[in-house]
A and B are shown apart, each in its own frame.
Chain A
Amino acid sequence: MTRQRNDDVGSIGTARSAPELEVWQALNIALDRAMERDSAVFILGEDVGLFGGSYRVTQGLFAKYGEWRVRDTPISENSFVGIGVGAALAGGRPVVEIMTVNFALLALDSIINMAAKMRYMSGGQMQVPLVVRMPGGVAKQLGAQHSQRLEHTLLNVPGLRIVTPATPQDSYWQLSQAIVADDPIIVLEHELLYFTKGPFDADALPPPMHAAAIRREGSDVTLIAWHRMVSFSMDAAAKLSDSGIEAEVIDLRSLRPVDLPLLRESVSKTHRAIVVEEDCRFGGVGAEIAASLNEAAYRDLVSPVLRLAASDVPTPYNAELERASIPGIKDIIRVV
């Protein structure tokens, strides 16, 4: 796997006067600050140490904190995540990096059978303050085994929380919040967002970890998205505006829990909503959100909440087909 730069993404919160940072840098600062503040915080994962992280997120931390707090692991996903669980039970605050979500499938026992259940199974005696960070998403021709999104797999596991930061600011905020929280938290990152820029202020006051954010106000339709689909929705909204349709764009930021109150507020104004999802359509996050919003806001809706999602196929290698397998800006405009 190689580090990828991506330049065709990116109208979320671009250039204002605040200093600009890339997502990986914001994550790096969050880790550094957390480790400085609390000696219980340590990092585990493949190539997180000497190499500096596959997406540079842990760059410099090995030199600063040493091998015991920034631990390069062998390729043993289930066991090194399990080590994170064990250390968390004993009082640590491990931040485990899984190189990509695809490899997390080998660690589901540690994540789902252990991390998510220990507090409940022990009658509240134990806690697992564990963060599992990992990037997913369709990137650039990585093939079917390296292009998955894992939202659907982790979504209905009681005990887990899932956040999906898409901007440098949210990456910093939500990773920082996840590290100090006392529950196991999945921080899903996106492979094509690491090298996108955005305004960054380390001292700004964060919203709650699970609060969604309105990225663009509009009155005609609500586009509900996360990760890379937020910037697609923003671009689509700009084009729609030219033809007189004002779309409101909501960045979910958190998938479990999900900020339903904000979605309801938005559709009470727009009366229409579309979930834009990079993951496959069948049984996905979009299904949950559409169903919940339809149930909760049916009086406000003039038509049922729709889903625009990836095709239910393994991701193809061919670049044209790959692009066609997930929603694009034109698809969003067409569905609106």
Chain B
Amino acid sequence: MQHKLARQFFYDMTLARQFEQAAAEQYTQGKIGGFLHLYPGEEAVAVGSLHAAEAGDYVVSTYREHVHAMVWGVSPSAVMAELFGRATGCSGGYGGSMHLYDVSRRFLGGYAIVGETFAIAAGVGYWLRLNDSTHIVICYFGDGAANQGTFHETLNMASLWKLPVLFVCENNRYQIGTEIHRHSAVPDIYRHASAYGIDGRQVDGMDVVAVYEATRSAVQHVRSGNGPYLIECETYRYRGHSMADSGAYRSALELAELRARDPLALFRERALTQEWLNESDCQEVEKAVEGVVVDAVRFADESPPPTDLSKDVYAVPLDLYGGRP
């Protein structure tokens, strides 16, 4: 692996880890409200898969999407400011943690209702296909979302019409507190794809290189007009489901086992052994990221709030009691 790409992976995973840590602290201090779903443990999924896509491709994600937004180019400051509910946030302070958008980068969210990403992605894919575009859509979803009707409805249509959608399952084994064997009769999520004539595979979601390589070939499959593909990344979240959850339903043994497979630590070690990076490269990245995160928090804190309650409900302001326009 090239030094440049290794550094990028390491940078993005370090940023993901530190950013979420900072978000948790800011939440505890009352600077961030609402639901806050964090990503530690799952970094290899977003980082590995998004680096296999190209600018111009679309990304559709869930409510656990801070990292996807940042890897796809949204600045950490704009994401943090959105968590703070500020006008400088990537959704102007109107969206919040679960609704990050950046249309200029084709980052389309940010959906808080489990299972919504499927149809949105297929709709974008339909539009791309209708226009003979070579771009594709990457659609993230959790293991729990695979039980939603929209998963099955959309896989059927995406396959039927050969839509350019890459479905990426972030299988972290839990739907809040319900472990996958208690919520799914077919817990290997990739196997669901075959019911709709879609190819799929499972990959170690704690290994960023494996995710990257699997996604690269999947992207090629989708981009070449072969229709959708499904990658299931087996991963784990170290924190609770959201800041409101301690995660106490999981055994200490399970947690320790998965902590030993920390995707960030593993990649750091491997990069050093393989000499993709040296120790000083790593420290330099860690230091740079620390600065970026501190700046993001400061930027968010110093940013003004949005003030206009009723803008952007409609294309032009609408008087519901029908003053003639």
- 25 pairs, A vs B, C-beta closer than 8 Å: A74-B153, A74-B157, A76-B153, A76-B156, A78-B149, A79-B157, A80-B157, A82-B118, A82-B150, A84-B123, A85-B123, A89-B108, A90-B124, A92-B126, A110-B116, A120-B94, A120-B312, A121-B101, A122-B99, A124-B312, A125-B102, A126-B103, A161-B318, A208-B324, A261-B321
- The interface residues of chain B lying within 8 Å CB-to-CB of A259 are 322, 324
Q: Counting CB contacts under 8 A, is B24 at the interface?
A: no
Q: Counting CB contacts under 8 A, is B130 at the interface?
A: yes
Contact B322 A78 (CB under 8 A): no
- The interface residues of chain B lying within 8 Å CB-to-CB of A89 are 108, 120, 123-124
Given A119-B314, A121-B95, A182-B315: 6 more A-B contacts, CB < 8 Å: A74-B153, A76-B156, A83-B157, A92-B127, A258-B322, A260-B322
- The interface residues of chain A lying within 8 Å CB-to-CB of B157 are 73-74, 76, 79-80, 83
Contact B124 A123 (CB under 8 A): no
Contact B320 A114 (CB under 8 A): no
Known contacts: A86-B122, A126-B101. The answer to whether A257 contacts B319 by CB under 8 A is: yes
CB distance from A124 to the nearest CB of B (A): 4
Q: Counting CB contacts under 8 A, is B160 at the interface?
A: yes
Q: Counting CB contacts under 8 A, is A59 at the interface?
A: no
Q: Counting CB contacts under 8 A, is A69 at the interface?
A: yes
In the bound assembly, the distance between CA atoms of A113 and B322 in angstroms comes to 24
- The interface residues of chain B lying within 8 Å CB-to-CB of A91 are 127
Q: Counting CB contacts under 8 A, is A206 at the interface?
A: no
In the bound assembly, the distance between CA atoms of A76 and B312 in angstroms comes to 30
Residue on A with the closest CB to B103? A125
- The interface residues of chain B lying within 8 Å CB-to-CB of A76 are 149, 153-154, 156-157
Contact with A along B82-104 (1 / 0, CB 8 A): 00000001111111000101110
In the bound assembly, the distance between CA atoms of A182 and B314 in angstroms comes to 8
Contact B94 A121 (CB under 8 A): yes
Residue on B with the closest CB to A264? B321
Q: Counting CB contacts under 8 A, is B58 at the interface?
A: yes
Contact B324 A123 (CB under 8 A): no
CB distance from A318 to the nearest CB of B (A): 34
Contact of B150 among A78, A94, A212 (CB under 8 A): A78
Q: Counting CB contacts under 8 A, is B219 at the interface?
A: no
- The interface residues of chain A lying within 8 Å CB-to-CB of B90 are 123
- The interface residues of chain B lying within 8 Å CB-to-CB of A208 are 324-325
Known contacts: A69-B130, A78-B153, A257-B321. The answer to whether A123 contacts B89 by CB under 8 A is: yes
- The interface residues of chain B lying within 8 Å CB-to-CB of A73 are 157
In the bound assembly, the distance between CA atoms of A76 and B128 in angstroms comes to 21
Residue on A with the closest CB to B132? A68
Contact A292 B118 (CB under 8 A): no
Q: Counting CB contacts under 8 A, is A211 at the interface?
A: yes
CB distance from B144 to the nearest CB of A (A): 16
CB distance from A231 to the nearest CB of B (A): 23
- The interface residues of chain A lying within 8 Å CB-to-CB of B315 are 119, 127, 181-183
Contact of B120 among A80, A86, A124 (CB under 8 A): A86
- The interface residues of chain A lying within 8 Å CB-to-CB of B120 are 82, 85-86, 89, 114
Residue on B with the closest CB to A117? B99
In the bound assembly, the distance between CA atoms of A98 and B306 in angstroms comes to 37
- The interface residues of chain A lying within 8 Å CB-to-CB of B314 are 119, 159, 161, 183
CB distance from B245 to the nearest CB of A (A): 23
| B contact residues, total (Cβ < 8 Å) | 54
Contact with A along B154-165 (1 / 0, CB 8 A): 101100110000
Contact of B127 among A86, A121, A181 (CB under 8 A): A86
> Restricting to B13-39, which residues have a CB under 8 Å from any CB of A?
none
Q: Counting CB contacts under 8 A, is B182 at the interface?
A: no
- The interface residues of chain A lying within 8 Å CB-to-CB of B318 are 161, 257
In the bound assembly, the distance between CA atoms of A42 and B126 in angstroms comes to 11
- The interface residues of chain A lying within 8 Å CB-to-CB of B325 are 208
Contact A258 B321 (CB under 8 A): yes
Contact with B along A138-159 (1 / 0, CB 8 A): 0000000000000000000011
Residue on A with the closest CB to B314? A183
In the bound assembly, the distance between CA atoms of A122 and B111 in angstroms comes to 11
- The interface residues of chain A lying within 8 Å CB-to-CB of B108 are 86, 89, 126
Contact of A110 among B119, B130, B161 (CB under 8 A): B119
CB distance from A161 to the nearest CB of B (A): 7
Q: Counting CB contacts under 8 A, is A323 at the interface?
A: no
Residue on A with the closest CB to B91? A123
Q: Counting CB contacts under 8 A, is B313 at the interface?
A: yes
In the bound assembly, the distance between CA atoms of A211 and B214 in angstroms comes to 56
Contact with A along B105-149 (1 / 0, CB 8 A): 000111101001011111111111110000000000000000001
- The interface residues of chain A lying within 8 Å CB-to-CB of B319 are 257
Closest 8 CB pairs of A and B: A86-B123, A82-B119, A123-B92, A76-B153, A79-B153, A124-B312, A83-B123, A182-B315
Q: Counting CB contacts under 8 A, is B291 at the interface?
A: no
Contact of B92 among A69, A71, A78, A124 (CB under 8 A): A124
Q: Counting CB contacts under 8 A, is B4 at the interface?
A: no
In the bound assembly, the distance between CA atoms of A232 and B325 in angstroms comes to 30
Contact with B along A78-107 (1 / 0, CB 8 A): 111111111111111010000000000000
Contact of A87 among B91, B123, B156, B320 (CB under 8 A): B123
- The interface residues of chain B lying within 8 Å CB-to-CB of A87 are 123-124, 126-127, 130
Residue on B with the closest CB to A84? B123
Q: Counting CB contacts under 8 A, is A210 at the interface?
A: yes
In the bound assembly, the distance between CA atoms of A211 and B323 in angstroms comes to 9
Known contacts: A42-B130, A260-B322. The answer to whether A86 contacts B121 by CB under 8 A is: yes
Contact B129 A123 (CB under 8 A): no
Contact A82 B116 (CB under 8 A): yes
In the bound assembly, the distance between CA atoms of A274 and B92 in angstroms comes to 44
